[in-house]
């Protein structure tokens, strides 16, 4: 059950309207790494979790918080669109909403959203449920969550540098902080999974006896770069504790030449075969 509280998690009030920035801020709502994505990703991970206890509670706590982030940023977009000025275009454009569109506003803000946010990214591409990762494997999901929060924080930081509005910057400072803590929480959860002996670092934690062990430890040198061997990914014990990395400076192919079978004549012929 979810219950809505009228108060926002953090204030979302710009100092002045800015339709162009509202379009940019849409990325944090409907982008691939926006708040809608992490909201639905964590909700479905929680609903898919078969293990009652601390892990499911963690997922659902953060998921529910993210619902509030969607609301907060959507509110900011609506307020940035409120009374959008019409002095950024030619004098012939008198209608404020039309002028704002001409000045850089997302046309769907006026046409579809009625002056409010839409479920799309900054380019107007609709949000897609395919963005989310909810596999049912906690290690795989938590790693995806770290990446999602990292990308979201990166985009928030870039948007922070694109505005001088103190109200917008204040809200984004809050979002940056929450992205930081969520990254740390997912990283801590990954460590806890390993300490609890519930998940192997390599996902899924099965079929180790079935895989080709000869190729489960080697770093293949396949580019013109000369320094890939100068790292812990090329020598020493692997993070899974099962393998020792080896560096192959000149790996050789083992398969036969790549060639497709001859084409079926009826697929490629342009005239009927004569008898």
Burial class (CB in 10 A: 0-12, 13-18, 19+), 126: exposed
pLDDT at 94: 58
pLDDT at 73: 98
pLDDT digit string, tens, across residues 43-80: 999 999 999 999 999 999 999 999 999 999 999 999 99
19-195: in CATH 3.90.1150.10: no
pLDDT at 83: 74
Q: What is the pTM of this model?
A: 0.85
pLDDT at 127: 97
pLDDT at 89: 40
**Could you say which residues of the chain have pLDDT below 50?**
86-92
Question: Backbone phi, then psi, for 192, in 5-degree steps?
Answer: -65, -40
Q: What is the chain written as a DSSP string?
A: -----SS-SS----SS--HHHHHHHTHHHHSTTSHHHHHHHHHHHHHH---TTHHHHHHHHHHHHHHHHHHHHHHHHHHHHTT--STTS-TT---HHHHHHHTT--HHHHHTSSSS--SB-TTSPBP-GGG----S-HHHHHHHHHHHHHHHHHHHHHHHTT---HHHHHHHHHHHHHHHHHHHHHHHHHHHHHHTT---SSSSS--TTTS-GGGSSEEE--SS-S-TTSSTTTSEE-TTSS-EEEEESS----SPP--PPPPPHHHH-SSPPP-
Q: What is the CA radius of gyration of the chain?
A: 26
Question: Would you list the domain boundaries of the chain?
Answer: 19-195, 213-248
């Amino acid at each position: 059950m979810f219950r809505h509280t009228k108060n926002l998690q953090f204030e979302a009030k710009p100092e002045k309207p800015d339709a162009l920035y509202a379009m940019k801020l849409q990325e944090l709502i409907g982008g691939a790494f926006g708040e809608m994505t992490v909201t639905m990703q964590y909700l479905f991970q929680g609903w898919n979790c078969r293990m009652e206890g601390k892990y499911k509670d963690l997922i659902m706590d953060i998921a529910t918080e993210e619902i509030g982030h969607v609301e907060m940023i959507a509110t900011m977009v609506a307020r940035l669109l409120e009374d959008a000025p019409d002095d950024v275009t030619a004098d012939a454009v008198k209608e404020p909403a039309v002028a704002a569109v001409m000045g850089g506003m997302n046309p769907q803000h006026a046409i579809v959203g009625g002056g409010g946010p839409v479920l799309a990214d900054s380019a107007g591409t609709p949000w897609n449920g395919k963005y989310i990762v909810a596999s049912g494997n906690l290690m795989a999901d938590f790693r995806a969550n770290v990446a999602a929060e990292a990308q979201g924080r990166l985009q928030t930081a870039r948007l922070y540098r694109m505005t001088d509005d103190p109200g917008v910057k204040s809200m984004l400072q809050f979002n940056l902080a929450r992205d930081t803590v969520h990254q740390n929480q997912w990283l801590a959860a990954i460590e806890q999974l390993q300490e609890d002996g519930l998940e192997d670092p390599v996902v899924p934690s099965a079929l180790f006896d079935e895989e080709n062990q000869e190729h489960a430890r080697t770093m293949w040198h396949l580019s013109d770069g000369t320094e890939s061997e100068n790292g812990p990914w090329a020598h020493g014990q692997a993070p899974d504790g099962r393998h020792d990395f080896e560096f192959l400076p000149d790996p050789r192919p083992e398969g036969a030449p790549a060639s497709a079978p001859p084409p079926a004549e009826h697929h490629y012929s342009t005239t009927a075969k004569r008898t």
